[in-house]
Structure 1
Amino acid sequence: REKGVTFFLIEHNMNFAMELCNRLYVLDYGQLIAEGSPEEIQDDYKVIEAYFGREG
């Protein structure tokens, strides 16, 4: 961050990605379902649903 570098990371470990990045884009089956800060992503219903399942 100090050097102003941007990089693209594909990662399934959400904890790792949230610690490393200040902006995230979340895909579910190739579709963008959320974008935002780690705080916004962790509270996003679509992200929670994609990672923990949908209620039947």
Structure 2
Amino acid sequence: MPAVNWSQRGKESDATRYGNFAMEHLINIILKNGGRKRISSPSCLAAAIC
């Protein structure tokens, strides 16, 4: 496996990594403050009404 050259990463990948971290952080804060996980069924997603 070739070594990763971190200095050659693109700005898009850095933005994606930051966005993923920010979204996960936001979700964790919501869950800590009483937000509930709800797993939607495929039929619920198709109808867009749950």
Report TM bin, short chain.
under 0.3
Give 1 or 2: higher helix fraction. 2
Higher percent of residues as strand? 1
Higher normalized contact order (CA 8 Å, seq sep 6+, divided by chain length) = 1
- Normalization by structure 2: what TM-score? 0.24
Q: Which structure has the bigger radius of gyration?
A: 2
> What TM-score does the superposition give when structure 1 sets the normalisation length?
0.23
